[in-house]
Structure 1
Amino acid sequence: MKIYIKNMVCSRCKMVVSAELEKAGIKPASVELGEVDLTGDLSDEQLSKLDTSLKELGFEIIDNRKSRIIEQIKTAVISMVHHSDEQQHINLSAYLSQKLNYDYGYLSNLFSEVEGTTIEKYYIAQKIEKVKELMMYDELTLSQIANETGYSSVAHLSAQFKKQTGLTPTFYRQLKENKRRNIEEL
């Protein structure tokens, strides 16, 4: 039995869900981003209790097909952007079609209908968040960040960054530096 879980998008989320399953006495075959594969079935009562405890932690069991597909799309995009070194070499539509075993046109229409935005815009938003994260560490040049996040050039990254945030990457980096103060200055 597979259970799909909304908002389970990182390694810590997997650990939290795993711990909650263990607390409930449920031993999963695997816990992956957005889904739990169980070795057996759960009773309605067990499922209800699990859903309640997961909701308290900010997660939610998804029980309809469209919502599961949307969550799988989001999980795949997040995984591709934040947890994969291969993102710059993969076409988004081909990646999603292959990963989810659906035609990209269907996935795209469903996502737009339910979320009110396109998969592409969601993907770009995730990439910009990754760029912000990398800029925060201040270890890479903008050129290296563009390369690592799959942008063809710094100009392309800068244009998308400005369109998404209203700021240039350079200005954003300066703001970030001004936001943090030394403990001694407080």
Structure 2
Amino acid sequence: MGGNSPCASCKLLRRRCAKDCIFAPYFPSDDPHKFAIVHKIFGASNVSKMLQEVPVKQRGDAVSSLVYEAHARVRDPVYGCVGAISFLQNEVSQLQMQLAVAQAEILCIQMHHQDPAATFPDDDDHQKSLLFSPATINAAAVTTANFGTNLQQYLSFAPSSSAVMQDPLKRESLWT
């Protein structure tokens, strides 16, 4: 920005905004909260060092990531983004299992339509046997394994934090 209108960082730090201010392109003066939260979590010096290490083309994305992580750290000081990732990973796992069970049930229904001579009793034991038959369990395992392999590899850095996300109150606090 240079000279007349200091960027949000220079305003907060009460210093003159130089022409080559590393913060000016990413922390405009009309959005002071954006720098304030990043400064509170990471510190101006650390943010400056991080931005200098990142190629100019990627600095905007780096600032977006820092702002997101800072907001996550304010909401959840212990886990930050990892808490949100763990929550979403848990949701994906649950949905994968539901999908696998539904696919297995569809397979059972299709098999029943192919062989209408087979009779099935209309009680709860039959429903349980459909859900927990070897074919259903195998289909669920294959679907879950295939669908979740990439996600598990990508998020393997946070296995210990997933236990925290079981608390329903904790889940709500991530998004409020």
Structure 2 length normalisation: TM-score? 0.28
Q: Which structure features the higher share of strand residues?
A: 1
Structure with more contact order per residue of length (Cα contacts < 8 Å, sep ≥ 6): 2
Structure 1 length normalisation: TM-score? 0.27
Mark the structure with the bigger radius of gyration: 2
Q: Which structure features the higher share of helix residues?
A: 2
